[in-house]
């Protein structure tokens, strides 16, 4: 089931699977299922938390997440969850954090497959020299999210 709502970032969709948040769709994404109007409580809660995030009232999400991926992807996604609101890290730092210091590129590939951007804050991960690199929603959206967390938008 998917619920679509308007957000400060444009129209977004959130999908659930068995009561857990399974996927986030940005306006430019095309979900693989039809535009369903989800009424699942977890979807309502996800958008309530997302709205609180955009209002600067929520810095950490508390939602049940349905993560489907490899063991390595799970390690990367869990490590990414440790990056605090308003802060950034690098692909290299995440690779070191998961005890695989030569896996910076693999970390980037795992983040590219992140089904839950914003909830798993891959927008907080930068290149080695602090440069913006890859983001499923595009670099402009990544920059917007970083600025949002720094209090530049409201």
40-74 pLDDT tens trace: 899 999 999 999 999 989 999 999 999 999 999 99
pLDDT of amino acid 122: 95
**Can you read off the two tokens belonging to residue 102?**
């030569």
Q: What is the pTM of this model?
A: 0.89
pLDDT of amino acid 39: 74
Instruction: Supply the CATH classification number for the domain 2-54.
Output: 3.30.160
Rounded CA gap, 120 and 122, in Å? 6
Phi, psi of 102 (to 5 degrees): -95, 10
pLDDT of amino acid 118: 95
pLDDT of amino acid 46: 97
Residue from 116, 149, 113, 147 nearest 26 by CA: 116
Cβ of 66: how many Cβ atoms within 10 Å? 17
Q: Which residues contact 114 (CB under 8 A, 6 or more apart)?
A: 77, 80, 120, 122, 136
Q: Which residues in the chain are classed under CATH 1.10.10.10?
A: 71-149
Structural domain 71-149, CATH architecture: Orthogonal Bundle (1.10)
Q: Which residues of the chain have pLDDT under 70?
A: 30-38, 153-154
Q: Which residues in the chain are classed under CATH 3.30.160?
A: 2-54
Just list the catalytic residues. Answer: 122
pLDDT of amino acid 145: 93
pLDDT of amino acid 153: 64
Q: CA torsion, points 113, 84, 75, 20, in degrees to nearest 10?
A: -60
């Amino acid at each position: 089931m998917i619920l679509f709502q308007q957000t400060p970032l444009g129209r977004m969709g959130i999908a659930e699977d068995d009561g857990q948040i399974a996927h986030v769709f940005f306006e430019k994404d095309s979900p693989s299922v039809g535009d369903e109007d989800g009424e699942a409580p977890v979807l309502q809660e996800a958008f309530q938390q997302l709205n609180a995030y955009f209002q600067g009232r929520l810095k950490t999400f508390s939602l049940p997440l349905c993560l489907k991926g490899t063991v390595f992807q799970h390690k990367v996604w869990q490590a990414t969850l440790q990056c605090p609101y308003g802060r950034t890290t690098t692909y290299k730092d995440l690779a070191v954090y998961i005890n695989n210091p030569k896996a910076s590129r693999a970390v980037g590939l795992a983040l590219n497959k992140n089904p839950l951007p914003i909830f798993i804050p891959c927008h907080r991960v930068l290149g080695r020299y602090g440069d913006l690199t890859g983001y499923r929603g595009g670099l402009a959206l990544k920059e917007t999210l970083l600025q949002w967390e720094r209090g530049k938008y409201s």
